[in-house]
């Protein structure tokens, strides 16, 4: 008996699979035949995709939200399409209404993937330029700076003299050198400027991270 099998993917845990799962459910695909994973499409070896490849049979239908869910690399994507079509599996995409088993479908898939790779390259280039610009303005330091509320809570705990340094650091997710940096900044009157600068950096880092995740 031919089966409907679904494969869904997002780049990481910060993204949501609900939309893909809803569409699979609308098409009558059981939970047992739905394979989901949180992994970048640039990674060739993906456990759930490998599982799908191992269980599909001639006449089965593979449901995906978009051809990009299978992969971002043109070479890997075309190899996957060829793998499934050679096994007699029909690929059904919610976004693109294309029969990928035909020469025309394969050509369209290749063009789409080339465009996606080009767009991703441009995005990474713009991100790199943005980071360079932000660093030049002192707004980029790599990781996301501490939340303002954590900084102020840590200082209040320090002032109370009721808590150890290690406990303060653990409670506010910071290291001892970081805590002392804020204490020293307060002592020399630069704390508010430091917090303002870090708030700007947090916004810049989060924005760049969102842009990076979009094209993973």
- Beta carbons of 151 and 194 less than 8 angstroms apart: no
- CA-nearest of 128, 118, 91, 120 to 106 is 91
Count CB atoms within 10 A of the CB of residue 60.
19
Cα(131)–Cα(143) distance, integer angstroms: 12
Convert the pLDDT of each residue in 199-213 to its tens digit: 887 777 776 666 555
What mean pLDDT, rounded, does the chain reach? 80
Query: Which CATH code of 3.30.2320.30, 3.90.1170.50, 3.40.50.1390, 3.40.50.300 fits the domain covering 4-117?
Result: 3.40.50.1390
Is 80 exceeded by the pLDDT of residue 112? no
Strand order in 34-38's β-sheet? Answer: 34-38, 4-10, 61-64, 90-93
Convert the pLDDT of each residue in 163-213 to its tens digit: 888 889 888 888 888 889 899 989 989 989 888 888 887 777 776 666 555
Convert the pLDDT of each residue in 45-96 to its tens digit: 889 999 999 999 999 999 999 888 887 677 778 888 889 988 999 888 888 7
- The ranges assigned to domains in the chain are 4-117, 141-214
Residues 6+ apart with CB under 8 A from 55: 5
- What does the pLDDT average to over 124-131? 61
Give kind and range of the element (H or E) at residue 15: none
- Active site positions, annotated: 11
Can you read off the two tokens belonging to residue 2? 């031919």
């Amino acid at each position: 008996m031919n089966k409907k099998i679904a494969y869904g993917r997002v780049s990481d845990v910060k993204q949501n699979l609900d939309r893909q799962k809803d569409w699979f459910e609308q098409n009558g695909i059981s939970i047992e035949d739905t394979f989901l994973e949180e992994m970048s499409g640039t990674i060739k070896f993906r456990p759930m995709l490998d599982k799908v490849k191992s269980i599909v049979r001639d006449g089965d239908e593979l449901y995906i939200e978009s051809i990009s869910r299978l992969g971002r690399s043109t070479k890997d994507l075309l190899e996957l399409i060829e793998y499934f079509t050679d096994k007699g599996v029909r690929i059904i995409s919610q976004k693109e209404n294309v029969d990928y088993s035909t020469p025309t479908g394969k050509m369209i898939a290749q063009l789409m993937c080339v465009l996606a790779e080009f767009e991703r390259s441009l995005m990474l280039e713009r991100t790199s330029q943005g980071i360079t610009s932000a660093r030049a303005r002192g707004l980029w330091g790599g990781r996301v700076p501490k939340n303002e509320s954590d900084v102020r809570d840590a200082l209040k705990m320090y002032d109370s003299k009721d808590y150890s340094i290690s406990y303060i650091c653990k409670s506010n997710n910071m290291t001892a050198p970081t805590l002392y940096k804020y204490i020293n900044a307060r002592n020399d009157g630069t704390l508010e400027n430091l917090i303002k600068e870090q708030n700007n950096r947090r916004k810049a880092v989060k924005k760049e991270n969102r842009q990076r995740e979009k094209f993973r």
